[in-house]
């Protein structure tokens, strides 16, 4: 799931693009959650595609991919009791896509401080 999100972000960016990966622990109504966020500064995702990106065999790539990566990523996240969301951003001159994953922490597991790469 992680490698798919990062690989898609790299594919979407220009050569000198910026990829940000954030991992943090957050307190939710259902307990401790791990939030994993991948942000790129590529062109973003067209509004008409946003609702379809997690569908099997949906792809906007011309030469590579089969449209299963995000579908499988969503299945993995949901099987572990989590959720995955996407938004295309264009604010203050910035653009790109942001994928956010929330996963429940294991019972009794303690996570370290938030990490940004």
pLDDT digits (tens, 9 = 90+) for 8-55: 999 999 999 999 999 999 987 778 999 999 999 999 999 999 999 999
**Which residues are within 8 A (CB) of 16 and not within 5 positions of it... i.e. 6 or more apart?**
none
**Domain limits for position 106:** 2-116
Which CATH number covers residue 9? 3.30.565.10
pLDDT in tens, 60-100: 887 777 899 999 999 999 999 999 999 998 766 778 999 99
Q: What torsion, rounded to 10 degrees, do the Cα atoms 81, 108, 115, 7 define?
A: -30
pTM, entire model? 0.84
Q: How many domains does the chain have?
A: 1
Task: Answer with the residue of higher pLDDT: 29 or 59.
Answer: 59
Asked whether the predicted pLDDT for residue 115 surpasses 50, the reply is no
């Amino acid at each position: 799931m992680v490698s798919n999100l990062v690989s898609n972000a790299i594919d979407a960016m220009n050569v000198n693009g910026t990829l940000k990966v954030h991992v943090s622990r957050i307190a939710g109504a259902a307990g401790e959650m791990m939030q994993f966020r991948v942000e790129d500064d590529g062109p973003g995702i067209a509004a008409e595609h946003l609702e379809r990106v997690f569908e099997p065999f949906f792809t906007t790539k011309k030469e590579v991919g089969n449209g299963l990566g995000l579908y499988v990523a969503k299945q993995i996240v949901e099987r572990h009791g989590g959720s995955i969301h996407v938004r295309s951003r264009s604010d203050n001159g910035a653009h790109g896509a942001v994928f956010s994953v929330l996963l429940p922490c294991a019972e009794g597991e303690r996570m370290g401080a938030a990490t940004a790469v």
